[in-house]
Structure 1
Amino acid sequence: MRLRSLILVICVLLVTGCGGNYRPSNPNNLCTIFEENEDWYAAALDSQKKWGQPLQIPMAIIKQESSFRGDALPPKDYLLGFIPWGRVSSAYGFAQVKSAAWSDYLKETGNWGADRDDFDDAMDFVGWYMNKTHKINGVSKWDAYGQYLNYHEGWGGYKNKSYRKKPWLVKVAKKVKRQASTYGAQYRKCKDDLNQGFWNWLF
């Protein structure tokens, strides 16, 4: 067994080691992110192959939701403005998935061992959600703007156009669209090098 293969096995067994707490040195550059962490690139490719979305969109969504922090939590809530009262929602992890949505994902996919603070699982969740958005509301998997509005408001909220009453959310969705576009342009330039490096690392 080659040294790299042995290291990969050890990483899987330890879970928290070998990049488990990885944070991108330059979160605005998709090539740098994937060059630094080939496990994340593998997860992005797996999600893309499974659910059919371009990988730059879930990466842009995750960047917006958690800044690539696996332990990200929503802001604290306060009673009467000063008494700590839990969190404003049950969202958690890389993709800031609420407990109810996560439960639906687990039931529908059967991925019972998944965790919200695991990047592979977060990527798979976003791909699953984007695929459902396409089926339910007809939003293209290439439409980062529409996909993010669905992601934030839910399928029913999007149908009811709840985002029209939230100009701040529209601005955020446009930001995600710009980030996805930037990521896509970057990825097209480094895709071949990434793939060559990935296969060399794997074998």
Structure 2
Amino acid sequence: MRITVLVLLLALGGCATAPHSINNVCSVFDQRDGWITDWYSDAKQAQQAYGVPVPVLMATVRKESGFKARARPARKWILGIIPWKRPSSAYGFSQALDGTWDRYKRETGHWAAKRNNFGDAIDFVGWYHRKSYERNGIPLNDAYDLYLAYYFGHAGYARGDWRSNAAIRNYAAATQKMANQYAAQLRSCGR
């Protein structure tokens, strides 16, 4: 009995930490392929549900949270010593904002979804990218523009808010590069 509990606690503890080698999607999937969680299956389900390729989904999560379940934006500090508010309500693997997450749950009926659950978060990313396709005509394999819409929101993307923000355009380019790299890696590891 004690051994079973110890194994379960160790396995659950491993789920709470970010995988190692996050720049290699095959390695990420290998590290999270078990009886408690199977990230590859979760990503494939999101791909099937929304039509967004697995490499685009995974590159978005990689860029947003580094695959950290409880990621949050850094707090602001007053006088460098007093912790203050966070700049947004972004949280979890997908860094979804409170209001957008609530809308996702309402529209999909996934009322129990949690932002720190990988399966729920990757489904959210697929859902959001699908909305970007429907509202802004962004191809589902275009990680660059999908990331811009993800960051600025659908209306902000349509207005072109991203045009004056070189830093976010660089993030979007890095996301596209990561998606391309992940696609090549997936082909090489037979997934």
Structure 1 length-normalised TM:
0.83
Aligned partner of 2:100 in structure 1 is 101
Aligned partner of 2:77 in structure 1 is 78
Residues 1:91 and 2:86 aligned together: no
Amino acid at match of 2:179: A
Aligned partner of 1:47 in structure 2 is 46
Aligned partner of 2:170 in structure 1 is 171
Please list every run of 5 or more consecutive structure 1 residues that lacks an aligned counterpart in the other structure. 1-6, 195-203
Residues 1:146 and 2:141 aligned together: no
Give SS of 1:68's match: coil
Aligned mates of 1:64, 1:17 — CA distance in 2: 24
Aligned mates of 2:81, 2:166 — CA distance in 1: 28
Amino acid at match of 1:32: S
Q: What does the per-residue CA deviation read over 1:105-163, in whole Å, with 9 as the maximum and x for residues that have no partner?
A: 01000100100000000000000001000000000000000000000000000011001
Amino acid at match of 1:21: A
Aligned mates of 1:137, 1:116 — CA distance in 2: 25
Aligned partner of 1:134 in structure 2 is 133
Contact 2:129–2:140 at 8 Å: present in 1 too? yes
Residues 1:26 and 2:18 aligned together: no
Aligned mates of 1:22, 1:41 — CA distance in 2: 17
Give SS of 2:83's match: strand
Aligned mates of 1:74, 1:174 — CA distance in 2: 21
Structure 2 length-normalised TM:
0.88
Compute the displacement of 1:20 (Å). Answer: 2.1
Contact 2:18–2:69 at 8 Å: present in 1 too? no
How many residue pairs get aligned? The number is: 181
Aligned mates of 1:82, 1:168 — CA distance in 2: 27
Contact 2:75–2:87 at 8 Å: present in 1 too? yes
Aligned partner of 2:187 in structure 1 is 188
Compute the displacement of 1:82 (Å). Answer: 5.4
Compute the displacement of 1:85 (Å). Answer: 2.2
Aligned partner of 2:123 in structure 1 is 124
Identity %: 39
Aligned mates of 2:30, 2:164 — CA distance in 1: 40
Q: What does the per-residue CA deviation read over 1:181-202, in whole Å, with 9 as the maximum and x for residues that have no partner?
A: 00001111222xx4xxxxxxxx
Amino acid at match of 2:159: N
Aligned mates of 1:82, 1:32 — CA distance in 2: 39
1:1-20 map, 5 Å: 17=12, 19-20=14-15
Q: What does the per-residue CA deviation read over 1:61-98, in whole Å, with 9 as the maximum and x for residues that have no partner?
A: 11111111001011102356654322110000001010
